[in-house]
Amino acid sequence: MQQHELDQLMKECASDAVQTAEEEFNIKLDLTQESLGSVDDVLLSFVEKYNDKALEDNAVFTICNIYGAYIGEVFKSIAGGDWRYDQSNPEAPFVVLDVGEHSYAFSGICYERLVNNSNISVKAYFEQALANQVQ
């Protein structure tokens, strides 16, 4: 996958996140840092609305990837960076945002909140990642 194709895919995924939040939960996301608390709410809303169906593999993959792209696009607008498609494990490729010497797995933090621990905050992860860039 070419870099421009990956960049376009992530922009489209972020757009899907905005549209889905609006259509499913009447939550407006505006690609700002302030909207990230709403992403925390949206992730848990999927479980509340769809119960176990939200936790099926295909649903989890889609939800985590579109909201991970959304968070990453917000991050890129503030701190820059480049998306990277990591195929180091061909069985489980993933996308990260590389910024300087740091790599951020925004879809991974969405997965943690959605599947493993509802107390984990994507907004807090974002803020810590941003603080890392300022140091």
State which amino acid sits at residue 59: A
pLDDT attached to residue 52 = 78
**Taking the model in full, what pTM does it have?**
0.94
Please list the residues that pair with 96 across neighbouring strands. Answer: 84
Question: Residues 70-86: what's their mean pLDDT?
Answer: 96
Token pair of 101 as six digits: 């010497």
pLDDT attached to residue 89 = 87
- Residues 47-68: tens digit of each pLDDT: 898 887 877 888 999 999 999 9
pLDDT attached to residue 13 = 97
**Nearest alpha-carbon partner for 114 in 36, 56, 74:** 56
pLDDT band at 95 (very low <50, low <70, confident <90, very high): very high
pLDDT band at 75 (very low <50, low <70, confident <90, very high): very high
Long-range pairs, 53-57, Cβ under 8 A, ≥24:
54/114, 55/114, 55/115
pLDDT band at 98 (very low <50, low <70, confident <90, very high): very high
Torsion angle, alpha carbons of 86, 94, 129, 45, to 10: 170
pLDDT band at 133 (very low <50, low <70, confident <90, very high): confident
Distance, in Å, from the CA atom of 57 to the CA atom of 72, rounded to the nearest integer, reads: 22
Q: Is the model's pLDDT at 119 over the cut of 70?
A: yes
Alpha helix stretches (DSSP H) within the chain: 3-25, 36-50, 57-79, 106-111, 122-134
